[in-house]
Amino acid sequence: MAQIELNTSLRNYNTFRIDINAKSFARFNSLETLEEVLSTQHNQKILILGGGSNILFTKDYEGLVIKNEMKGITEMHEDEEYVFIKVGAGENWHQFVRYTIDKGWGGLENLSFIPGTVGAAPIQNIGAYGVEFESVLWNIEAYHFEDRRVVNFTKSDCEFGYRNSVFKNKFNQQFAILNVTVQLRKSPKFNISYGAIEKELEKMNIKSLSVKAISDAVIHIRSSKLPDPAVLGNAGSFFKNPIVEKETYERLKNLYPQIVAYPSIDEVKLSAGWLIDQCGWKGKRVGDIGCYEKQALVLVNYGNASGKDVFHFSEKIMDSVWEKFNVKLEREVNVL
């Protein structure tokens, strides 16, 4: 029988370590247990929870929180170039990445050391060091709560964008992702165009490139600038890097020649970390909430900050970036 807990604290289930309660809480490790949980609970709003590393709870959750614990890694088939792997949505993302690296397969090495579960990777199309999740996705199986059936999603069905997908928009909280199938290269194609990787590989004195060397380099870089959630509560980048029109960028570049930006054809992505840093927030602390001293894009909970504290702190940052640069920041973290 599925266990339903009432008024459960979620402090240990979110990496910001915010202490709020869920009205009901359950776990599932198979489609059968998920359906069992859902059949006992009617007319409640539902939140599928992975590792809680991209969520800010600002109040008690007046609904049913269901923690995804679906496991399993299966090699489905292969062709000349690719191997296709089906992974349970509740598998730990980084452990799965290392599994593929031990096999020598290519595609996930740049996405090493991102906290959370496999099933959450498509939600915001996780990205790091020049690679996004969408580049490896083959298929998703997801359960539709209302229709009570499993639906398949191909890459194009997911409408991926920068930190965005159909699951954050028109299908927001309508599906539980059950598993994900990725296609990985049997002969990896390395992507070390992101500057910091090349420098790190040199530092590590790597003579022959491999997916393991790239993964290790990424782990070193990330450990040097991002706080470990086991030590300091946080949810990674709190804001997205804002995308502005070329004219806005030119105006800012005239005023601030040092501005950090990544131009593409029509638009320019600005570094939110740089903008926040320039407003003097880096290392600032108010009570138990602060702007991380090594990366201004990351907000941290020094102990007992509430979700509302974090939210208000983030609003002040958004206001000052708007006042100084006339640029609107958008939160990356899911605020509930």
Q: Which of 112, 237, 306, 314 is catalytic?
A: 237
Q: Which of 132, 134, 141, 332 is catalytic?
A: 332
How many residues contact ligand FAD, by CB under 6 A? 33
Q: CB under 6 A: which stretch of 9-17, 202-210, 290-298, 320-328 binds ligand EPU?
A: 290-298
How remote is the C-alpha of 281 from its chain's centroid?
23
Site for ligand EPU, residues 215 to 234, rule: CB under 6 A? 225
Residue 264 a catalytic site member: no
Which of 296, 300, 329, 336 forms a contact with ligand EPU (CB under 6 A)? 296
Residue 274 contact, options ligand EPU, ligand FAD, none, Cβ 5-8 Å cut-off depending on partner type: ligand EPU
| Among candidate residues 99, 170, 163, the one with its CA nearest the CA of residue 329 | 163
Q: Is residue 211 a contact partner of residue 129, using CB atoms and an 8 Å limit?
A: no
Q: Which of 163, 165, 200, 306 is catalytic?
A: 163
Site for ligand FAD, residues 51 to 90, rule: CB under 6 A? 51-55, 68, 89
| Among candidate residues 278, 227, 210, the one with its CA nearest the CA of residue 15 | 227
Contact letters (x/-) for ligand FAD, 131-170, by CB under 6 A?
Answer: ----------------------------------------
Residue 293 a catalytic site member: no
Residue 241 contact, options ligand FAD, ligand EPU, none, Cβ 5-8 Å cut-off depending on partner type: ligand EPU
3-state secondary structure 165-223: CHHHCCCCCCEEEEEEEEEEECCCCCCCCCHHHHHHHHHCCCCCCCHHHHHHHHHHHHH
CB of 53 to ligand FAD, least distance (A): 3
| Cα gap 46→174, rounded to integer Å | 8
How remote is the C-alpha of 199 from its chain's centroid?
25
3-class secondary structure, 102: helix
Residue 273 contact, options ligand EPU, ligand FAD, none, Cβ 5-8 Å cut-off depending on partner type: ligand EPU
Which of 273, 301, 306, 321 forms a contact with ligand EPU (CB under 6 A)? 273
Contacts of 314 (CB under 8 A, 6+ apart): 238, 239, 299, 331
For 12, 177, 193, 279, the CA distances from 41, given in Å and listed in that order, are: 23, 19, 49, 47
Q: Is residue 90 a contact partner of residue 117, using CB atoms and an 8 Å limit?
A: yes
| Cα gap 290→281, rounded to integer Å | 9
Contact letters (x/-) for ligand EPU, 113-152, by CB under 6 A?
Answer: ---------------xx-----------------------
Residues in the chain: 336
Chain residues binding ligand FAD by CB under 6 A are 15, 47-55, 68, 89, 114-117, 119-121, 123-124, 126-128, 175-177, 226, 229, 234-236, 334
Which residues are the active-site residues?
A: 163, 237, 332
Chain residues binding ligand EPU by CB under 6 A are 128-129, 225, 236-237, 240-241, 260, 271, 273-274, 277, 282, 295-297, 332
